[in-house]
């Protein structure tokens, strides 16, 4: 476990002025369990950084990235299960012959400049940052006050040992061309919204029923 918890650069724990850390999936670090492929496990204070897509743990007031994901089987945190896919993690929403995952990712974008009627605007020339422009560029540190974190999740289906991504109904239906009519009917009858996780779980459960 020293290899997992001891080889990443310590970063001083910081939050935004209102006490939040918008790059993290959960409001606070909480006790979670890291299960290794060799059968052992260990608990730590954990959270998930949606900008870096790294599992992060807190120790003695400092933050560390959880390294060597190839040795990790799963992470249990806040009643959710996360599994490593390469160097990032997917949250498990449904395990079945057709499984559902969410890739919790986000972008750091400028907050925008003041616009008419109290709104803000972002000119087209403004770029999305690929890294946080801070000293060292560390995603776990306090974010610049003039930038916001924009959620950009991607959903994944595992079917026949292949992974397929989707973000909307059109992309989802392409994964199941032979069930398109039945799925369209289910989506309409149940008013499925693709930005509501419980709706997506119900939809994929129906996919499994159709494949029985």
Last residue of a domain, one of 103, 126, 149: 103
CB atoms within 10 A of CB 7: 12
Last residue of a domain, one of 103, 125, 158: 103
Total structural domains in the chain? 2
Q: Return d(Cα 191, Cα 41) in angstroms, integer.
A: 41
Last residue of a domain, one of 103, 119, 136: 103
pLDDT of residue 136: 33
Asked whether 157 and 175 are in contact (CB, 8 A), the reply is yes
Higher pLDDT, 155 or 59: 155
- In angstroms, how far is the first alpha carbon of the chain from the final one? 41
Asked whether 50 and 104 are in contact (CB, 8 A), the reply is yes
Over the stretch 95-129, which tens digit does the pLDDT of each residue have? 999 999 999 999 888 876 444 444 544 443 333 33
Asked whether 73 and 37 are in contact (CB, 8 A), the reply is yes
pTM of the model: 0.81
Share the mean pLDDT of the chain.
81
Q: What is the mean pLDDT of residues 183-197?
A: 96
pLDDT of residue 49: 92
7 and 97 in a common domain: yes
The domain of 22 spans 2-103
Local confidence band at 5 (pLDDT 50, 70, 90 cut-offs): low
Asked whether 19 and 142 are in contact (CB, 8 A), the reply is no
- How many residues can be counted in the chain? 212
Which residue, among 144, 203, 148, has the nearest Cα to 172 in the 3D structure? Answer: 203
Higher pLDDT, 162 or 22: 162
176 and 99 in a common domain: no
Max Cα–Cα distance, the chain, nearest Å:
59
126 domain residue, yes or no? no
113 domain residue, yes or no? no
């Amino acid at each position: 476990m020293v290899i997992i918890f001891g080889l990443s650069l310590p970063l001083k724990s910081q939050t935004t002025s209102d006490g939040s850390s918008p790059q993290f999936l959960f409001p606070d670090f909480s006790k979670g369990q890291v299960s290794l492929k060799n059968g052992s496990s260990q608990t730590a204070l954990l959270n998930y950084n949606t900008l870096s897509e790294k599992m992060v743990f807190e120790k003695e007031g400092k933050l560390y990235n959880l390294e060597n994901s190839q040795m990790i089987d799963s992470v249990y945190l806040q009643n959710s299960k996360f599994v490593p896919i390469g160097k990032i993690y997917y949250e498990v929403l449904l395990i079945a012959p057709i499984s559902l995952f969410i890739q919790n990712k986000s972008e750091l974008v400028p907050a925008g400049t003041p616009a008419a009627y109290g709104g803000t605007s972002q000119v087209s020339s403004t770029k999305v940052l690929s890294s946080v422009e801070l000293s060292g560029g560390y995603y776990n540190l306090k974010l610049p006050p003039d930038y916001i974190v924009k959620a950009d999740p991607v959903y994944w289906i595992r079917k026949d040992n292949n992974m397929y991504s989707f973000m909307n109904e059109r992309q989802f239906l392409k994964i199941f061309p032979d069930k398109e009519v039945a799925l369209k009917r289910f989506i309409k009858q149940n008013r499925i919204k693709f930005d509501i996780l419980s709706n997506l779980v119900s939809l994929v459960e129906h996919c499994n029923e159709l494949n029985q």
